[in-house]
């Protein structure tokens, strides 16, 4: 079974299985190939350690184009965006608190 780890909120292929990478705790034994969208080296390492083929994909490859408006991003993507911008934030803060950290444009 192909398993995709992604923070996407829509655009799911009904023929594929998806998991939120932020909730990863253990590998799924019935996975034969894994696609990881985003930077989650611990997930890749866990599956590679048991011989499962892992493909790393950038954010835009699963749903066409990567969301560029931080106000429309999912929580995981928003946290990544804030980090990339050098904006300090609480890793456990809810989305509403994170949205307040976005600089006015």
What token pair was written down for 24? 């990863």
Whole-prediction pTM value?
0.56
Tell me, what's the pLDDT at 59? Answer: 58
Model pLDDT, residue 24: 96
Residue ranges of the chain whose pLDDT lies below 50: 61-64
> Where are the chain's structural domains?
2-63, 70-99
Strands (E), the chain: 2-5, 17-19, 33-37, 53-57
Q: How confident is the model at residue 101, as a pLDDT?
A: 94
Buried/exposed code over 12-47 (b: 16+ C-beta within 10 A; e: otherwise): eeeeeebbebeeeeeeeeebeebbbbbebeebbebb
């Amino acid at each position: 079974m192909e398993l995709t780890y992604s923070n996407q909120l829509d655009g799911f292929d009904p023929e594929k299985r998806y998991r939120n990478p932020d909730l990863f705790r253990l590998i799924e034994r019935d996975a034969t190939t894994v696609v990881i969208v985003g930077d989650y080296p611990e997930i890749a390492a866990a599956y590679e350690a048991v011989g499962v083929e892992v493909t790393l994909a950038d954010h835009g490859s699963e749903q066409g184009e990567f969301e560029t408006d931080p106000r429309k991003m999912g929580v995981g993507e928003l946290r990544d965006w804030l980090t990339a911008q050098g904006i300090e934030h609480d890793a456990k803060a809810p989305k509403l608190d994170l949205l307040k950290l976005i600089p006015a444009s």
